[in-house]
Amino acid sequence: MLGNFSYSNPTKLYFGDDALSFLPKELEHYGDRVMLTYGGGSIKRNGIYDAVIRVLKDAGKEVFEDPGVMSNPTVQKLYEGCRIARENNVDLILAVGGGSTIDYAKAVSVSAWCNEDPWEKYYLRMEDVDNRIIPVGSVLTMVGTGSEMNGGSVITNHEQKLKIGHVFGDNVMPKFSILNPKYTFTVPKYQMVAGIYDIFNHICEQYFSGTDDNTSDYLAEALMKSVVHASRIAVKNPEDYEARSNLMWCATWALNTLIAKGKATDWEVHMIGQAIGAYTDATHGMTLAAVSLPYYRHIMPYGLAKFARFAKAVWDVRTESMTEAEAAAAGLAAMEDWMKDIGVVLHAKELGVTEEMLDGIAGATFLFDGGYKALTREEVVEILKESL
């Protein structure tokens, strides 16, 4: 049965190929000083930058640019963004890009006016925000993280070899997000596929837990089937609007807190993947793909019923003549086949992980107990060895 919960999500979404036309209306709610943050320059090559700048200028906004957000935003970049936002007393941070850019914008929004080190306060001590927050809006150009409709923000500290996410509350979620599937067409295939697996694993992290019958798991199964179907089409034709729009919409609903309601959640794949990212700076979705199968095979005996259900409900495995253990294994085999089909990384060594790193990565992995098996550090090492 569903546990007790409350649900709120204040982000307003504009979805479709005319979504940017609603940006002027949203800009009316904020002051004249806008910080425009984006990544390495792809939005200038594909024309999105020019379109956004035109809207900002027509709205009479003074724009302060903050380019160069990397795929794993660093604490040093966070400090730089805080300086730009604070010195120019910006009224709105507009993030144009994928999840990393939006994560970064949220981090800046809570950190610019923080009276102490935001890394210490928000990412190490995990404290609540008690200072001025700069509103954030987003124009999404790459799907995967769901950052456009959640309070999550992941920052990397290479010096400390830590990659940590803080899930902030409603007051930090983007006030609005512009979602045009066509903006994702020019994303390189490697990044597109990494984002697809990120979507899928977000759902898995909320699905593989609990033994009760609850609506959240049925929603999760439907989302997973949609991701699998659309991904196969998008990999063959990246400009298939229907497939890309379905992936974009799935990504948003995979991690806007809806399907986590009323149940426990796992998140250990993300914790191991983020620790790998802290050591290698590898693409986030690929770190998840590299450790997922070893992790799920490790915990499968402790949640056999759900893994067997996963095989039948998501992968259409004919399980009638199988034992529960056989069905569970068949489901993960079907998932592996799909992962191979779309071209994700299946081995951590492809991301630069070496045996010498394993103890350090395990030490940087946060251990949770919401899934079917609470891991020990030694088990994390074993999973990492399997992932190589």
The three-state DSSP-derived secondary structure of 304-355 is HHHHHHHHHHHHCCCCCCCCHHHHHHHHHHHHHHHHHHHCCCCCHHHHCCCH
Residues 199 and 164 in one domain: no
Contact 295, 272 (CB under 8 A): yes
| Domain end position, chosen among 142, 167, 183 | 183
Of 47 and 1, more confident: 47
Residues 265 and 287 in one domain: yes
Number of domains in the chain: 2
On the question of pLDDT at 173 being above 80, the answer is: yes
Sign of CA dihedral 90, 91, 96, 102: positive
On the question of pLDDT at 2 being above 80, the answer is: no
Q: Which domain holds residue 215?
A: 189-387
Residues 359 and 258 in one domain: yes
Average model confidence (pLDDT) across the chain: 97
Residue 375 is classified by DSSP as P
* pLDDT, tens digit (0-9, with 9 covering 90-100), for 63-119: 999 999 999 999 999 999 999 999 999 999 999 999 999 999 999 999 999 999 999
Predicted local distance difference test score (pLDDT) of residue 168: 97
Predicted local distance difference test score (pLDDT) of residue 194: 98
Predicted local distance difference test score (pLDDT) of residue 381: 98
Which DSSP string do the residues of 281-307 spell out, in sequence order? ---HHHHHHHHHHHHHHHHGGGSHHHH
In a domain, 7, yes or no: no
Contact 278, 162 (CB under 8 A): yes
In a domain, 77, yes or no: yes
In a domain, 296, yes or no: yes
For residue 44, the surrounding DSSP H or E stretch is helix 42-45
- 16 Ramachandran zone, left/alpha/beta (phi>0; psi -120 to 50): left
Residues 292 and 318 in one domain: yes
In a domain, 205, yes or no: yes
* pLDDT, tens digit (0-9, with 9 covering 90-100), for 280-324: 999 999 999 999 999 999 999 999 999 999 999 999 999 999 999
In a domain, 3, yes or no: no
In a domain, 372, yes or no: yes
Question: Residue 287 maps to which CATH number?
Answer: 1.20.1090.10
pLDDT band (50, 70, 90) for residue 40: confident
Question: Residue 23 maps to which CATH number?
Answer: 3.40.50.1970
Contact 224, 200 (CB under 8 A): yes
CB atoms inside a 10 Å sphere around CB 151 = 21
pLDDT band (50, 70, 90) for residue 49: very high
In a domain, 4, yes or no: no
| Domain end position, chosen among 183, 208, 243 | 183
